[in-house]
Amino acid sequence: FENPGTCGDVDGMPGVTMNDGRQTFMNLIYGAEKYPINDYWAADCDGSLGITMNDGRQIFMNLIYGEEDYPLVCE
């Protein structure tokens, strides 16, 4: 299975932004009805299995400190 999306692009809006990290947090806290995830493959971006709070954090850290220190890894 090859996903055509962009790793970390959770909300369906173009590009990986801080909102993608926020959307991950809000989805986990308040549920998918209020805060849907557009691409579940892209949301699991920390290299560990499953979508967790750390995936949202990984997006923030990637945007702040860069890909080298905080890579987005979707498998």
Structural domain spans, the chain: 1-75
| pLDDT tens for each residue of 33-61 | 999 999 999 999 999 999 999 999 999 99
CATH of the structural domain 1-75, one choice from 2.130.10.10, 1.10.10.10, 1.10.1330.10, 3.40.50.720 = 1.10.1330.10
19 — pLDDT class (breaks 50, 70, 90):
very high
pLDDT of residue 2: 63
**Three-state DSSP state, 73:** strand
What would the mean pLDDT of 10-34 be, rounded to a whole number? 97
- Taking the C-alpha atoms of 19, 21, 22 and 23 in order, what is their torsion angle to the nearest 10 degrees? 80
Give the 3-state DSSP-derived string for 8-68, with helices as H, strands as E and coil as C.
CCCCCCCCCCHHHHHHHHHHHHHCCCCCCCCCHHHHCCECCCCCCHHHHHHHHHHHHHCCC
